[in-house]
Structure formats: C-alpha cells, structure tokens
Chains A and B, each alone.
Chain A
Amino acid sequence: MKRKVFAYPYIVWMILFIVIPMFFIIYYAVNVNGQFTLTKFISTLKDVGKWKVLWASVVMAFKTTVICLLLAYPIAYILSNMKKSVAGFISVLFFVPMWMNFVLRTYAWQAILEYLLPGLKKFLGLEGSVLMVLVYDFLPFMIMPLYNTLSKLDKSLLEASRDLGASSAMTFLRVVLPLSVPGIVSGVTMVFIPAITAFTVPALIGNGMYHLYGNEIELAFKTLSGQGDYAVGSTLSIILLISVLVSTLIMNHFDKDQKQGGQLW
C-alpha cells in the first residue's frame, strides 16, 4: 500500500467542506428561491452605501493596525532587551488575554465604558470607543511576532554598529528597525485583515448604532425576524473575499521583497 492512501480521507473532506462551500456563496448570490437571477447581485454591487461602509472599515482597520504597531513595538523592544527568563515570564502576561474568550472581553469593555468610565466613552465618541477596543483585542497579535523577531536579533550586530561610531538612535534606525521588518509585516497581516472583518466589537460597543462592513454582512444573514437575505449577504461576502485577497497579495509582495533582502545576511 502506498503512503498516498493515508491522504484520501482528507481529500474527500477537503472537496466536501472546503471547496464546495465556497461555490455555495456564489450560488446563493445569484439564486433567489431556487431561480437564477442577477438582479440582487447587481443592485447590491451598485449600492454606494455598502461601498462607503467597506471603505470606513478599511480605514478603521488601518488605524487599528498603526496604533497597535506604535504601542506594541516598544513593548516588544523592551522585552527583547531583558534577561531571557524574566522576559519569558512577562511575555506570558501579554499573551494570556489572547487565549481568553474575546467576546467576553469585549462584553467587559461594553460594561466598563457604560458604567465605570462613561466620561471616556463621551470623550472618544462611538467611533473612538470602537477603535480603542479593536486596538485592545489585537494588541497581543502585534506584540507576539515583533517579540519573536526582536528577541532573535543578533546582538553582536548592535555592538558592531556602536563600535563603528553610530549613536544609539542611529543604531536603532539603521540596524534594529530594518532587521525587524519581517516581524512588522507578519504583525500587520495578523491585525489588519481580521480587523477589516470585525463585527463583534462594533455590535457590542456601538450598541447597534455603529456599523462596519462585517455588521452589514451579519445583518444580511441574521435578521431578528427569521431568514435573512442570502443573495445580498453572499454578494457582500464575495466583495469582502476579493478585497481581502487583494490586500493579502499586496502584503505577500512586501514579504517577498523582505525575504530576498534578508538573503544578504
């Protein structure tokens, strides 16, 4: 018996539950009550409001990513310069929340902003509050890859740079920062893409008053009164899938540039 055989159960599973479900999104986008029709598909594509929400979600995801990066880099940098055993211990503190149910943590923020710090909610506004909780949710996902990259950095390179007369600011800008780009890229991918599709945070923090693209999709499928509009929801999902694939391709492109650059070392 060839070893190939061991993969057959998976191949069947993959076709049934990975490939075929994707086609059903397309099927339901152009089918209403079992009849082929393009009207819903085209009217959804033409809906300017939905495109505006998509743009707002991309902007929100971008802001989340930038703030996460600015907050996480110093954390990862400080940790990477600590004694190994101490850093290992403190880094666990930063990663524990990642394993804790994030819907529960978002629910806690909803309560905090409502009862404990209503002033903060007023100061940030709805949009600002959603942004803060998104940053909160994704921060550990930015710290982790940055910490991994920075702690593996060859410390003798920094000494060499200092020996050759660079100031510590110069060493950071010319040596540490360029060498940590792989960590930045993987952190950005881990935050930006999921942040575009986030719908739990706006739903809970915005109390239904603030919508991102994920909420539009959610509302299309899960209306309070029975079955939602599958055609609209599926079309919105196709748009989302295409935008995410394009962003991933762009980011992979940067990643590849880095890998080629990295071969110099």
Chain B
Amino acid sequence: MKKAFRSIKYVYLALMVFFLYVPIIYLIVYSFNDFTIGKRVAYANLGKWKGFTLQNYANLFTGEAGRSLLLTLEIAAISSVVATVIGTGAAIGIYAMKKRTRNLILNVSELPMVNPDLVTGISFMMLFAFVNSLLVKLGMAQIGDIPKLLIAHISFSIPYVIFSVMPRLRQSSNLLYEAAMDLGCSPWQALMKAVIPDIMPGITSGFIMALTMSLDDFVVSYFVSDLRSVLSVYIYSSARGAKGVNPALATVIFIPLVTLLLVVNLMRIAKEREYEIQSKKVKLKGGK
C-alpha cells in the first residue's frame, strides 16, 4: 500500500514534468525538420516531417529571428546595467530620507510592479505617442524603437533593483557612510568603498532580477515598439502571420538556460555538502 502510494507520487511528478516540457521538446524535434517548399522556407507547417536538416540553425543567424535575438540581448544588457546603477543610488538615497518622503517614493515605485504589464505598456505607448506628435509638429525626428524600448525596460526594472537593495541596507549599518567621511573619504569614495561593498549581494540579485525581467518581457515591448522589436514580439507577430517561427530558437534558448541553471544548482549542492562535511569534522574534533 505504502509502496504503491510512493510510486503514484513519482508518476504524478513525472507526468507534470512531461506536461511542462512537451512544447519545448516538440519545437526542438522540429528544429531539425526540413521546411523548404520549393525555394521558400515556411516554418508554419510544424506538423509534417520532411527529413533531417541543420539548415534552420544556419537560417537563424542570417534571418530576422537572429537579429531580434541579438537586439533582445543588447536591450537586456544595457537596460539592466542602467537600472542597477539608478536603482542602487535610489535605494541608498531613499533610505537616508525622512519616513514620509521615503514611504511616498516607495509607494509610487511599487506601481509598476502592481500594475498589469498591459497597462504599463499602454501608458508608455501613450507617452511616446504624445511626445512624438509634439516632435512632428516641431519638425523634429521622432523617438525611435530602440530608445523607446530602452526607456521602458529601464523603467520597469528599477523598482525590482530598489526592492532587492533595500533589505540589504536595513542589515547594513546606517553610520557606515558618515564614518567613511569622518575618516577622510569624499562622498563618492564613501559610497564606492564603504556602502556599496556592504550591500553588494543585494545589488547582484537586483541586477539578475532586472536582467530576467527584460529578457522575459513581451507585453510592454509589444506596445512600445513599432517596427523593430525584441524576440518575443517577433515570435508573436510571425506566429500570427503565415510564415511561422523558426523552431531552432527553442534549442538556442533552452540549452544555455538549462546548462546555466544546472551548473548553479550543482554548485549550491556541492557547497552544502562541503559545509556538512566540514561541520561533521568539527564535531568529531570536538568529541576528542
């Protein structure tokens, strides 16, 4: 009875893992499919197996998919670095403020996190529509897709940085900055040499958060950009059109992701093991 129950548990887990991975496996299998019809390539026909080829991977780096993947990485890299710098400064500054101003700013900062993506995206779309219509009236060039995407991505990432750095500041000493200045540091040196090293773990996790928010985003980018956009927008519009999406994208995203997560996880497990062994050794020595 107990044994049967245990195997049911594993069967359930396996089924759920299978459910989560079916679409990914499906795309990876079809990424090796031959999609050429005559001289054209039509990815939309994801149901007919026409033979093995690696052509889709070659196409990936010459076609629009590769370009939008590259743009996604660029936007993510730039926006997360800028958001981390502005957000860290903001957290340090806000933390030194009076309680009422602090709460006001923090409440406003929570807005993009509580707001549905859809509303955030539309609010940016409306802002840029207004600014661009003004620029047209003045006879100036409009704001392009890339600056628009950067502004939007930086804006929705900053709050995540602030709320990752804040708890670290609470653990750190409030007097660190003043102490560093008393010992002859300039404000800039005090910040760089005393405060920032102390809250580095918070900054790192904020940066990773900003990076994933930017890489994951679809909705905001979709509403903000017109012609050039990030990968998920490219996928969405090609999925709705007749040409379909190159399934090789799934492999190109999946393999690095799994490798990264497994390495991180294995490192954590190894560290825990080491710690366990170490503490056992200490106990044994203590026993003597």
Q: Is the CB of B13 within 8 A of A75?
A: yes
Q: Which of A159-204 contact B (CB under 8 A)?
A: 193-194, 196-197, 199-200, 203-204
Q: Which residues of B contact A67 (CB under 8 A)?
A: none
A25-B258 contact, Cβ under 8 Å, with A18-B111, A88-B269, A101-B253: no
Complex contact B47–A96 (CB within 8 A): no
Give B233 Cβ to nearest chain A Cβ, in Å.
8
Cβ contact within 8 Å between B126 and A21? yes
What's the nearest-Cβ distance from chain A to residue B128, in Å? Answer: 9
Partner of B126, one of A24, A93, A109, A136: A24
**Complex partner residue of B23 from A24, A74, A112, CB under 8 angstroms:** A112
Q: Are A3 and B105 in contact (CB under 8 A)?
A: no
The 0/1 profile, CB within 8 Å of B marked 1, for residues 82-109 of chain A is 0011001110111111011111111111
CB of B152, distance to nearest CB on chain A (Å) = 8
Q: Are A100 and B253 in contact (CB under 8 A)?
A: yes
Contact of A104 among B9, B20, B249 (CB under 8 A): B249
Residue ID in chain B nearest A135 by CB atoms:
B19
Q: How far does the alpha carbon of A203 sit from the alpha carbon of B16 in the complex, in Å?
A: 25
Bound Cα distance A244, B254 (Å): 33
Among the listed stretches B93-101, B138-146, B197-205, which one makes contact with chain A, having 4 or more residues with CB under 8 Å of it? Answer: B93-101
* Stretch of B34-42, B50-58, B84-92 at the chain-chain interface: B84-92
A100 with B24: CB separation less than 8 A: yes
- Residues in B with CB closer than 8 Å to A104 are 27, 232, 235, 245, 249-250, 253
Q: Do most interface residues of chain A lie in helix, strand or loop, or is the interface mixed?
A: helix
Chain A residue numbers with a CB within 8 Å of B22 are 108, 112
Interface-central residue, A2, A17, A112, by most chain B CB under 10 Å: A17
In the complex, chain B residues whose CB is within 8 Å of the CB of A49: none
Q: Is A9 an interface residue (CB 8 A)?
A: yes
Mark out the residues of chain B between 110 and 127 whose CB falls within 8 Å of any chain A CB in the assembled complex. 111-112, 114-119, 122-127
**B277 in contact (CB, < 8 A):** no
- The distance from the CB of B36 to the nearest CB of chain A, in whole angstroms, is 18
A-facing residues in B227-247 (Cβ within 8 Å): 231-232, 235-236, 239-240, 245, 247
As a 0/1 sequence over residues 131 to 174 of chain A, the CB contacts with chain B under 8 angstroms (1 = contact) are 00000100110000000000000000000000000000000000
Instruction: Given A4-B93, A7-B105, A237-B119, verify A96-B258 contact (CB < 8 Å).
Output: yes
Bound CA span A241–B12, Å:
38
Which residue of chain A lies nearest to B96 when distances are taken between CB atoms in the complex? A3
Q: How far apart sit A2 and B187, CA to CA, in the bound complex (Å)? A: 8
B115 CB contacts on chain A under 8 angstroms: 241, 244
Tell me which residues across on chain A come within 8 A of B207, comparing CB atoms.
none
> Would you give the shortest CB distance from A245 to chain B, in whole angstroms?
8
Does B4 count as interface, using CB distance less than 8 angstroms?
no
Q: A3 to B232: give the CA distance in the assembly, Å.
A: 39
Question: B residues within 8 Å of A by Cβ?
Answer: 9, 12-13, 16-17, 19-24, 26-27, 30, 46-48, 86-87, 89-97, 105, 108-109, 111-112, 114-119, 122-127, 129-130, 151-152, 154-155, 158, 162, 177, 187, 191, 212, 216, 218-219, 222-223, 231-232, 235-236, 239-240, 245, 247, 249-250, 253-254, 257-258, 261-262, 265, 268-269, 272-273
Q: Could you show 19 A-B contacts with beta carbons less than 8 Å apart?
A: A13-B158, A17-B151, A24-B127, A28-B126, A28-B129, A89-B269, A90-B17, A94-B16, A97-B20, A102-B232, A104-B232, A111-B27, A136-B23, A196-B116, A203-B240, A222-B223, A234-B122, A240-B118, A241-B115
In the complex, the 7 A-B pairs of residues with the closest C-beta atoms, listed nearest first:
A7-B93, A115-B47, A108-B23, A10-B90, A21-B123, A111-B46, A3-B96
| A residues at B contact (CB < 8 Å) | 1-11, 13-14, 17-22, 24-25, 27-28, 71, 74-75, 78-79, 84-85, 88-90, 92-97, 99-112, 114-116, 136, 139-140, 193-194, 196-197, 199-200, 203-204, 208, 214, 217, 221-222, 230, 233-234, 237, 240-241, 244-245, 248
